[in-house]
A and B are shown apart, each in its own frame.
Chain A
Amino acid sequence: MPQLIHRYTVQERANHWVVAVSFILLALSGLALFLPQFFVLSYVLGGGTWSRILHPFIGVLLALGFGRMALRYWNDNKITDTDRQWMKRIGDVIRNRDQGLPEIGKYNPGQKYQFWTWVVSILLLFVSGIVMWQPYFTPYFTVGLVRVAVLVHAFSAFVAILGLIAHVYAGVMWVRGSLRAMTRGTVTASWAKDHHPAWYRSVSKGAK
């Protein structure tokens, strides 16, 4: 039995999966309305009209869930000098040459930039989404503003989905042992020592 370390509470995990499922439904229905070749994806939510109706409500759910995450993890994601040193070796990180990397805490800079990318893109998606929301809000805005909003929505969605691809790849396929942090809430001690040594020291010290 490997030694297990607690990483996420059940509330954090539940919130994460609400956001994750919302994100996927939003990405699929959004792509359906963005690119005609993807229109078939609108059937995930029951067709074009249902996609148009449900997409904004799911968007609000994501904004609430993500907003909670943003507040909770805000301080953990501040970029430090160590992070800047780590980023200089990003090429080694990508090639799995992790020996001698600066010791990092709960989140590595890749995760931190991921976090800030989503903070900005999801905020933009939320604001532009309100402007585009027919029939409730769009009539209150000028057509010029709506045209800016649809473009901002498309670009920030693009950035957010790129982030999702990176997040899922790193969490599920690349860095083995990470996924269980969000499913069972625990990680193995060796995972923590390898990938988050400073965090490992602080939590194991606290436990003693």
Chain B
Amino acid sequence: MSTLIVIDQSPYGTWAGREALDMAFSLAAFDQSVSLLFTGAGVNWLRKAQTASEIEQKSVEKNISAAPIFGVKAIYADAKACVQYGLGLDNMLAGVAMAENSTELLHEHTHTAFAG
């Protein structure tokens, strides 16, 4: 079993992305193969230097950076969405792989779960 958790909403506006991330960490904690795909507005999760304290939220950067430590296999960003939102390797968090073809990525996993 391998699971791809897809986050397609920007951070902070809803809780869905955080809860999807918790699902990924939980699978990893149970030694299940899991990767993350950020697509659409969701790629904004991967932006460097987020100042979420201004809206009394915790930055999601730490959570993303901790993902490999917790056993999340890979973090993918949809390449087209990155272009759309002005994201490149210079202003993105380290350790993110660009996914040129998200369809292929979906086919490579037996399970897919979207943030609500």
Q: Is chain B a partner of chain A in the same complex?
A: no
Residues of B at the A interface (CB closer than 8 Å) are none
